[in-house]
């Protein structure tokens, strides 16, 4: 059973189709961690060009999926409710396996540092038991609701 469904996710973050890469949130510990799910289907627009006859989810979109999960975690904090989280930096990104249609991405995010409206999250994406991507993401939360 999900903690947040797609409609509830859209109430938190501004992303919408075709750039919303989150189906539901499995687990959420405010100010600590989140696990969310992205079901990768052949109907994704990016598979039309990446690559015809050999569909592969672009690595940058895996990072975007992780960043969206991080945004949900950050914006569920009472300190940042109603605000917008922006990606400020990507560090130590590693891609370990190709993601294809039919895969279920489990997005894991944990806050490692936070100071005022900035922080760092440690992230990784799994398909089954295999880690497909990892990265440290820096976030900045807007001072005003947008």
- The residues annotated as belonging to the active site are 50
Q: Are 109 and 33 in contact (CB under 8 A)?
A: yes
Q: Are 26 and 107 in contact (CB under 8 A)?
A: no
Closest CA to 139 of 72, 93, 92, 78: 72
Listing DSSP states for 74-130 in one string gives HHTSGGGTT--EEEEEEEEEEE-S---TT-EEEEEEEEEEEETTEEEEEEEEEETTE
Phi, psi of 10 (to 5 degrees): -70, -20
């Amino acid at each position: 059973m999900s903690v947040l469904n797609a409609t509830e996710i859209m109430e938190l973050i501004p992303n919408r189709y075709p750039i919303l890469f989150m189906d539901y949130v499995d687990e959420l510990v405010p100010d600590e961690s989140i696990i969310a799910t992205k079901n990768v289907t052949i109907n994704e627009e990016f598979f039309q060009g990446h690559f015809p006859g050999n569909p592969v989810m672009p690595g940058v979109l895996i990072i975007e999926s992780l960043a969206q999960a991080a945004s949900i975690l950050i914006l569920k904090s009472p300190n940042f409710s109603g605000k917008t989280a922006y990606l400020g930096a990507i560090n130590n990104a590693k891609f370990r396996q190709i993601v294809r249609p039919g895969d279920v991405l489990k997005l894991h995010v944990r806050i490692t540092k936070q100071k005022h409206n900035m922080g760092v999250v440690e992230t990784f994406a799994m398909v089954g038991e295999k880690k497909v991507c990892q990265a440290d993401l820096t976030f900045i939360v807007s001072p005003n609701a947008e």
